[in-house]
Amino acid sequence: MSGKSIKEMLEKIEMEKSMKISREREEDKKIFEIREKARQEYLKRNKMYENISYNQNLNSVSSGGRAKGISKIYVYITNGEPGEITSFYKQDYLDYILNNHSDLYLYKTENTIYFEDVFKLQSLYDLLIEYTAQESSSKYTFGVGTRLKDLESSKIFFKIENNTNIEYSKKIIEFTLIEQITPQSELDNPGSSEDGSIGYIVTYSDWLEDSSIDVISDLNDIQNKFDNTNFDIRTVDGPFEEIL
């Protein structure tokens, strides 16, 4: 092979690499714009709630009454491009998988399941997704822009056990229990959930085991690692404090 053809080949590889980076940046830019729009809408709505609560408290004080405490909740907002969805999982489906496939994990505590490696973890996760689809005819999903109340009282962690010190076990998945606020009928691209649905969403994932939260540009690497498309990454913004 001539030196010229090698040079051309290297230039082609470099060009393809640059194009790939440009595409990924464009995708990240679109996602950022969608998230920013959702964030601005949230801030606008939250400011309105703050003003209402503030005025109510002033009226209470001025009329001789005592100011009432302000009730707060924490809210996640699903993100992504139009038409994309965020999956969630019912407690009893998760319990069923854990109770019937204990061979895939080492042991569990009150809110943490410990695995030998990430591949067994993914095998169990795959069963959870398949079982959910089987039992519900379609996966439980939320459309982009769905507001979800963080129930706070319950989180579940999937971790890779550290044999030396369990406190240093690597967190791969964090599930957070939420309650749906936004009816899917209000969305242009709704999910399949019923109003007021309660279930677990992924609020942290590290499928690549690099101690950083997965992002959209990691999806190809994750799929190649497991040769499987049955996994979820975090597709929500928040939690945001919201005044009732």
Does residue 93 carry a pLDDT above 60?
Answer: yes
Convert the pLDDT of each residue in 173-229 to its tens digit. 999 999 999 999 999 999 999 999 999 999 999 999 999 999 989 999 999 999 888
**Element of type H or E holding 74:** strand 72-78
pLDDT of residue 48: 52
Q: Measured on CA atoms in the order 113, 238, 139, 136, is the torsion positive or negative?
A: positive
Quote the CA–CA distance of 165 and 28 in Å, as a whole number.
37
The answer, yes or no, to whether the previous bond of 239 is cis (omega within 30 of 0) is yes
Please report the DSSP string for 87-139 in residue order: E-B-HHHHHHHHHH-GGGSSEE-SSEEEESSHHHHHHHHHHHHHHHHHHHSS-
Quote the CA–CA distance of 147 and 41 in Å, as a whole number.
11
Q: What is the CA 93 to chain-centroid distance, rounded?
A: 18
Quote the CA–CA distance of 143 and 170 in Å, as a whole number.
30
Quote the CA–CA distance of 86 and 84 in Å, as a whole number.
7
Domain ranges of the chain: 75-243
pLDDT of residue 141: 92
Does residue 161 carry a pLDDT above 90?
Answer: yes
pLDDT of residue 23: 74
Convert the pLDDT of each residue in 19-58 to its tens digit. 777 776 776 666 666 666 665 665 555 555 445 444 444 4
